[in-house]
Amino acid sequence: MKRKFKKTKRTTFAKILAKSLCTGLAVSALFGVGFQSFLYHRVNSLCNQEIETELSSLQQSIANINAKYDDTELAMREINFRLMHYTTYDIYIEHFTPIDPQNNHAIQIVPGYTPKCHAVSFLSSQGKGIVASNRRQLSIYLFYGKNKEKDVDRGYYICPADELDMPEIDKLCADYDELSSSADGSQCFVQMTAESVYVNKKEHKFIPHKGKMEKFVYQPSGFFQSNDSPLYDTDEILTDTKEFDITADIPDYELIELKNGSLSNTDEYPRSMLFGIWGEKEDVVNQFTSEVTSGYSNDDSFRNFEWRDNRDGTFTYGRNISIYLGKEQHWLSLINVVDYKNKDLVRYYWLYTIGIAVIVMLISVVYAIVKSTRLKAKYAMEDYQRDLTNNLAHDIKTPLMAIGGYTENLIENDLSDEEKQRYLHSILDNVAFTDSMISRTLMLNSMDGSNKLKREKFKAEEAIEKAMEKYSVMLDEKNITFKHNGSAEVNTNHAAFETIIENLVSNAVKYTSPNGEIKASADKKRIIITNSVDKKIDTKKLKDPFVRGDEARSNADGSGLGLSIAERAALTNGLKLSLSCTDNEFKAELRF
């Protein structure tokens, strides 16, 4: 069965571009999905590392506190403060090194600074339930003297707001919450300073007397930083201040003035540090209270889970470890909540996703342009070769018809010897013309620029004089004057250059009117060959194959390939041939 020939359809730049952009979009989408998965697993891995590190650190701190105190109540009080102040995590995601080599614009996720991100800790036992946690409380650390051993009253003090039922303390906490919030989503923190406090040294309780709260907003700089990311290199700008003045007349509480300033100046006491509201809010802690106390087991892994999807863009990570305080078994539970949809991570994701998409789209456009250019050149060559073949077939008919007609006359008619000789010479002339046309066509078709030509330096005028000498007889017959001036040294393929000049000179000789003039001039940049003509000729298509100056294309003296061969040879050697004509002069200019 014969296979049916199917002509290859040509494509357009628009189709190539559309297909390339669709491929680019698919690649970008795949990157977006893959990068989202990578980012998710990256944060997952960092959360697991953080919770393991934090759990180990808290376990060691509790063990040290337990060994430090014989009094269980004192030990539990310090454990409670330890959980309240040091239960946290710090997830740090760097940009890729080429974008941010100094890591100045990394993403940092920290509970209390990043919305919807929390760190909760519990210490519980089967008999007593929850004995310590990082539930939010107003606290302070007080120093009463330089000598640590003699300063028995130093340590953490807590404000028992629930016991006191004082509206002033409630207002202080409300003002703190107001300052801590940010309407525009910018990251901020509140620094609290106490000038004086009421203290109950026996129970390690206190009530703030006078002081102030200052709101600082992180002022990030740089393209990659957002307004809600507490990065290390950001500037802190004071934006608001609230003062407090609370009067309390409660038994067992004494008023003391605090010496503010650097702790290195140890001559003035009492001093304070870590004054503020620490820990997680009540509603956050309550979310996990029932889960922590839902059951106990001797198995250390009870209530352990790696992560849990909360279906609101957050994930919860939890760990549990057994700790013995004395002979009683306790469990330290650490729970971290991470918001995967916080602004920093979203910006981080879209920065790279859009960036890669833009790069891929640019590559797609460049690819489409390059492919379209190559196809355009291929199509042009195909059209050129097709036209070359068609024109050759068209032009070769004339000499073949002449040969056929002369041959029939020789066969059918009774001719004299002189007539026979004339017909035979005409047949030979047409055969020679046909052979020359085919040879020149093959030569023209072979000039595709694929072969690397050897270059050399030589005088351009030598090629001009050589070509003019070849046509000296025709010049004399038509009484044509030849003039030459100037000199030029060219660096190109010698044979190809001679081919160009020979065809330009040949064209000038053939189409110069009798008693006309041919002039050649040369300088460092170009060669110009001009010849006189009877009328203006349209030069737009003269460099196309088989185009002769006349519209009828009936000039049998030439094949119409000379200027085409010159043009192809010039392009192959990096030269530029241009043609122009006026009413009385035809000009060919070859630039190099």
CATH of the domain at 485: 3.30.565.10
Whether 364 is covered by a domain: the verdict is no
Average pLDDT over residues 359-365: 95
What's phi and psi for 211, nearest 5 deg?
Answer: 170, -165
The predicted structure's pLDDT at residue 267: 72
Indicate if 458 and 346 belong to the same structural domain: no
What is the number of residues in the chain? 592
Confidence at 222, pLDDT banded by 50, 70, 90: very low
Report whether pLDDT(553) > 70.
no
Tokens of 72: 């269980």
Report whether pLDDT(191) > 70.
yes
Indicate if 45 and 150 belong to the same structural domain: yes
Q: Which class for 4: exposed (0-12), middle (13-18), buried (19 or more C-beta within 10 A)? A: exposed
The predicted structure's pLDDT at residue 133: 92
Whether 399 is covered by a domain: the verdict is no
Report whether pLDDT(477) > 70.
yes
SS3 of residue 490 by DSSP: strand
- The percentage of the chain sitting over the pLDDT mark of 70, rounded to a whole number, equals 82
Report whether pLDDT(218) > 80.
no
Whether 421 is covered by a domain: the verdict is no
Measured CA to CA, the distance from residue 83 to residue 332 in angstroms comes to: 10
Lowest mean pLDDT: which of 168-177, 304-313, 409-418? 304-313
The predicted structure's pLDDT at residue 384: 66
Indicate if 166 and 283 belong to the same structural domain: yes
Going through 79-163 in order, the beta strands assigned E by DSSP cover 91-93, 107-109, 118-125, 129-133, 137-143, 155-158
Report whether pLDDT(530) > 60.
yes
DSSP, res 222: S
Confidence at 290, pLDDT banded by 50, 70, 90: confident
Q: Which domain holds residue 203?
A: 13-357
Indicate if 139 and 287 belong to the same structural domain: yes
Last residue of a domain, one of 357, 381, 415: 357
Last residue of a domain, one of 335, 357, 379: 357
DSSP for 363-407 reads HHHHHHHHHHHHHHHHHHHHHHHHHHHHHHHHHHHHHHHHHHHHH
Tokens of 49: 């590392």
Give tens-digit pLDDT for 21-80: 999 999 999 999 999 999 988 888 888 888 889 989 999 999 888 888 887 888 888 898
Indicate if 58 and 192 belong to the same structural domain: yes
Which one has a higher pLDDT value, 43 or 126? 43
Measured CA to CA, the distance from residue 156 to residue 158 in angstroms comes to: 7
Whether the model pTM is above 0.85: no
Whether 334 is covered by a domain: the verdict is yes
DSSP for 536-548 reads ----TTTTSTT--
Give tens-digit pLDDT for 226-263: 444 444 345 678 888 999 999 998 999 999 999 876 55
In the chain, the number of structural domains is 2
Average pLDDT over residues 332-351: 89
Indicate if 328 and 456 belong to the same structural domain: no
Average pLDDT over residues 516-533: 90
Rounded to the nearest integer, the mean pLDDT of the chain is 81
Last residue of a domain, one of 332, 357, 382: 357
Report whether pLDDT(298) > 60.
no
The predicted structure's pLDDT at residue 353: 95
Confidence at 543, pLDDT banded by 50, 70, 90: confident
Indicate if 332 and 474 belong to the same structural domain: no
Measured CA to CA, the distance from residue 35 to residue 37 in angstroms comes to: 5
Lowest mean pLDDT: which of 174-178, 209-213, 385-389, 574-578? 385-389
The predicted structure's pLDDT at residue 555: 45
Cβ-Cβ contacts under 8 Å for 240 (sequence gap 6 or more): 179, 214, 215
Indicate if 90 and 202 belong to the same structural domain: yes
Angle at 111 between CA 63 and CA 209, to 5 degrees: 80
Whether 418 is covered by a domain: the verdict is no
CA atoms within 13 A on the CB side of 115: 18
The predicted structure's pLDDT at residue 83: 92
Angle at 531 between CA 497 and CA 395, to 5 degrees: 70
Report whether pLDDT(224) > 60.
no
Indicate if 66 and 189 belong to the same structural domain: yes
Confidence at 420, pLDDT banded by 50, 70, 90: confident
The predicted structure's pLDDT at residue 550: 52
Whether 391 is covered by a domain: the verdict is no
Cβ-Cβ contacts under 8 Å for 143 (sequence gap 6 or more): 151, 154, 263, 269, 270, 271, 272, 273
The predicted structure's pLDDT at residue 323: 87
Whether 468 is covered by a domain: the verdict is yes
Indicate if 287 and 154 belong to the same structural domain: yes
Confidence at 213, pLDDT banded by 50, 70, 90: very high
Whether 442 is covered by a domain: the verdict is no
